[in-house]
Amino acid sequence: MNTKLHAVTDAKGRPLKFFMTAGQISDYTGAAALLGSLPAAEWMIADRGYDADWFRDALKDKGIRPCIPGRKSRGKAVRYDKRRYRRRNRIEIMFGRLKDWRRVATRYDRSAKTFLSAVALAATVMFWL
């Protein structure tokens, strides 16, 4: 079983929302699912997988400035704040800390619903208690 976990975090790298998709599904699906529940923010830092014009426009409509590098295949290069983009490591650190829980790292749960519950429990204990 292959899955992708999408997350929204605060500025300190603490997870606020999770969404899980199948591994072969595009990142755009996770972006569209989490778009409606984004908290008020000044910036959105995301990796190249979330680079789409519709996503950038939706973020701008919400008053959020995107800091997303363009895909390699994009015809016209997109400008982004490279210094701000370096802060994306906080998100990677959050995922790494979640994998400190053996149950999350080894994916013991066969059911996606149970796995997402384990991820939410791990995130609550590690970041919020």
What does residue 19 show for φ and ψ, rounded to 5 degrees?
-150, 135
Dihedral Cα 55, 84, 8, 77, nearest 10 deg: 20
| 107 has a pLDDT exceeding 90 | no
Q: pLDDT tens digit string along 38-60?
A: 999 999 999 998 999 999 999 99
Q: pLDDT tens digit string along 75-93?
A: 888 999 999 999 999 999 9
**Amino acid in position 80:** Y
Enumerate residues 6+ apart whose C-beta is below 8 A from 22: 2, 3, 4
Runs of H (alpha helix) within the chain: 27-35, 53-61, 82-85, 89-98, 102-106, 112-123
Tell me the whole-structure pTM to 2 decimals: 0.86
The CB density around residue 122, as the number of other CB atoms within 10 Å, is: 20
Residue recorded with tokens 């072969």: 24
In order of start, what are the domains of the chain with their CATH numbers? Answer: 3-124 (3.30.420.10)
